[in-house]
Amino acid sequence: MAKIELPYGKEYLEVEIPDERLNAVLVSELHHYKPEMGQTELVRRALENPIGTPKLRDMAKGKEKVVIIASDHTRPVPSKIIMPLMLEEIRRGNPDADITILISTGCHRETTKEELVEKFGPEIVAKEKIHVHNCDDESMLVNIGVLPSGGLLIINKLAVEDDLLVSEGFIEPHFFAGFSGGRKSVLPGIASRATVMYNHNAEFINNEKARTGIIDGNPIHTDMLYAARAARLDFIVNVVINAKKEIIYAVAGDCDLAHRQGCDFLNSVCKVNRVPSDIVISTNGGYPLDQNIYQAVKGMTAAEATVNPGGVIIMVAKSNDGHGGEHFYKSFKEEKDVDRMMEAFLATPSEKTIPDQWQSQIFARVLKKARVIYVSDAPDDMVSDLHMIPAHSVEEAIAKADEILGRKDSKITVIPDGVSVIVL
């Protein structure tokens, strides 16, 4: 009997699976990787050896206004380690720099003060200027051009009025941008809702290159990188983290070259071969990525890549914040025919993209391939409205999967952290 721990919120759920039923456990080597130095030392080394740029302290000389784009409450970026080092480095080059930390919420809700304190620590929140981006606040937005796709590039004006724009973040496999991090700090991070909508259009989401682990030829990435260049994102500090949310790798420098080195590292440790099964269990890696159902679609795509057509995906995500996207929720509550929903998405012009459409489109794609049983703290009726079957334990979910499949010996593949693997 195999005992497997599945991240769930800030804790773990343990499930036992009979050996004869367990087909495979797909785990990225990322979680076994042993860095050669501590977390702070890794970031310091990256800052001392930037890729494709001068050192940050040298870039900061003579720059009066500096904006640091930082991730929001939905991303497990270890900012308590990264941000103090970036602030120190900037002030080492220019002690009088006027620094603003700009929280890149994208189209998420605004980050609360409590969440900022948890992210940065009380000292930074008390002493530094912090502005939380709001994609709908037109008074803070400015048009700086046109994306390669044809959409308007509208971003937060703080990132335009500065003398130096830098960012912190982390890199992980991303289910349609290829990888997170790097250029994503600008688009979607500090972009207007209209710009994000255009970039996340149905045609791009449907593109075979808009998949986990792919950036070359990915039209979504192409727009994002253009946006970062147009905004003059001059320097990034990006890290890779393990299951304990600890830094195991760090890069700094040019927003494309440094990011690509981080992606190359992830490619070397995150790729796993699919092991097709009728039942696949996945997670969203625990807190903070499993706070809502909307975000959990990411972990489902890892299962989608290896579940047999007509099989069952068991998704384990605490979802204590509920559905996470009003338009996402309504799309499925109000339309029970997934095929008709997908047809409507694909027929939607880029400029008519609605909020959460991309997530709904990918979720519909998953549902067209497999039934989904959802283990969470979310209300049962909410889960059902989203075309899934609610369950309150993994054991209950497996029993329901057996009932759906009409047998009790179906093979099971487990992906303990669905957002950390690239399933080939």
**Active site members:** 108, 174
Burial class (CB in 10 A: 0-12, 13-18, 19+), 128: middle
- For residue 310, the one-letter residue type is G
How are the residues of the chain apportioned to helix, strand and coil, as percentages rounded to the nearest 5? 40, 25, 35
Q: Is the dihedral of CA 291, 351, 103, 165 positive or negative?
A: positive
Hey, which residues does 419 pair with through a beta bridge?
Answer: none
What residue has token string 């039934």? 371
In sequence order, what DSSP letters do the residues of 119-161 get, joined into one string?
HH-HHHHHHSEEEE--TT-GGGEEEEEE-TTS-EEEEEGGGTS
In sequence order, what DSSP letters do the residues of 53-115 get, joined into one string?
S--HHHHTTT--EEEEEEE-TTS---HHHHHHHHHHHHHHH-TT-EEEEEEE-TTSPPPPHHH
What residue has token string 């390669």? 148
Tokens (6 digits) for 24: 């495979």
Distances 380 to 104, 151, 162, 277, 423 between C-alpha atoms, Å: 32, 39, 48, 26, 30
Distances 320 to 159, 287, 289, 332 between C-alpha atoms, Å: 33, 10, 11, 19
